[in-house]
């Protein structure tokens, strides 16, 4: 495959910047009138794929909601990945894995290797065991043309004590993560394949994203309170490479796939004005 950054740039140019979450939260299953079992999970997930994967550049299944149902839930996730890609969407699998050594290498094989049934176009990773601990995943992603999105500054209140902590050079942990990602993207065109996760609701982050040369996933659009105007305030000149992510604000329109698709189109259009 061509590098993820190049494929992402082409997909966004064709379909807009929206990243649509596929999050089969128990509350949403109930709202859709579905049972909290594997049959409900599958109906929810495949309806979302039918409605969204042909509309948006990126879909983002949240792995935990599938894993909660054991092996049969993971099998549903495998079908979601395959069917979403067949419909033309890139799949960003939200797994937030982060470990060391052979364990990190095993996670990389699961999500980033050719031939794995769980292989996505990109995954989310946690760097808080040290950015270098992610090397097995970063290296395999580069080898197979896939991407990663590394947590940098998240919108949960607990994250600030770690991510905004300052080192002896006066730089925040989050900025050091940005800089390490930027180093991985040096020279890539039109866009690097190592992205970041920065919450759309973090407000004034203080992050310098000017050298990143990669995409930024911005969760929090819609139900968590962020709107298009907040994106401009948080990301400034880097907004051109931001993937605003919305899940519940779109999924609440289910189970009608026509209504789901219309909601995704409306959110996408609001990001382009």
Residues assigned a catalytic role: 96
Helices (H), 172-273: 173-184, 228-235, 248-251, 257-271
Contact present, 166 and 116 (Cβ < 8 Å): no
Q: Roughly how many angstroms between the first and final C-alpha of the chain, as a whole number?
A: 32
Contact present, 264 and 250 (Cβ < 8 Å): yes
Contact present, 40 and 29 (Cβ < 8 Å): yes
Cα four-point dihedral sign 110, 111, 113, 115: positive
Helices (H), 130-213: 135-144, 160-163, 173-184
CA–CA dist 141, 147 (Å, integer): 6
């Amino acid at each position: 495959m061509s590098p993820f950054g190049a494929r992402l740039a082409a997909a966004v140019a064709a379909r807009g910047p929206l990243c649509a979450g596929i999050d089969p939260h128990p509350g949403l299953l109930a709202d859709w009138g579905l049972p909290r079992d594997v049959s409900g999970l599958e109906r929810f997930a495949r309806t979302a794929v039918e409605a969204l994967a042909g509309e948006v550049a990126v879909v983002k299944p949240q792995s935990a909601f599938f894993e909660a149902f054991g092996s049969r839930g993971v099998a549903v996730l495998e079908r979601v990945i395959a069917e979403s890609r067949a419909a033309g969407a890139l799949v960003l699998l939200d797994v937030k894995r982060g470990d060391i050594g052979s364990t990190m290498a095993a996670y990389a094989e699961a999500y980033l290797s050719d031939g794995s049934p769980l292989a996505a176009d990109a995954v989310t990773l946690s760097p808080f065991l040290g950015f270098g601990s992610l090397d097995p995943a970063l290296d395999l992603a580069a080898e197979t043309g896939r991407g990663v999105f590394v947590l940098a500054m998240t919108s949960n209140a607990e994250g600030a004590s770690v991510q905004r902590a300052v080192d002896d050079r006066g730089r925040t942990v989050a900025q050091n993560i940005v800089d390490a990602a930027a180093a991985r993207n040096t020279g890539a065109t039109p866009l690097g394949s190592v992205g970041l996760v920065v919450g759309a609701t973090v407000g004034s982050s203080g992050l310098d994203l000017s050298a990143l040369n990669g995409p930024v996933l911005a969760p929090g659009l819609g139900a968590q309170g962020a709107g298009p105007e907040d994106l401009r305030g948080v990301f400034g000149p880097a907004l051109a490479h931001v993937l605003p992510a919305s899940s519940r604000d779109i999924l609440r329109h289910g189970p009608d796939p026509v209504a789901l698709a219309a909601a995704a189109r409306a959110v996408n259009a609001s990001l382009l004005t």
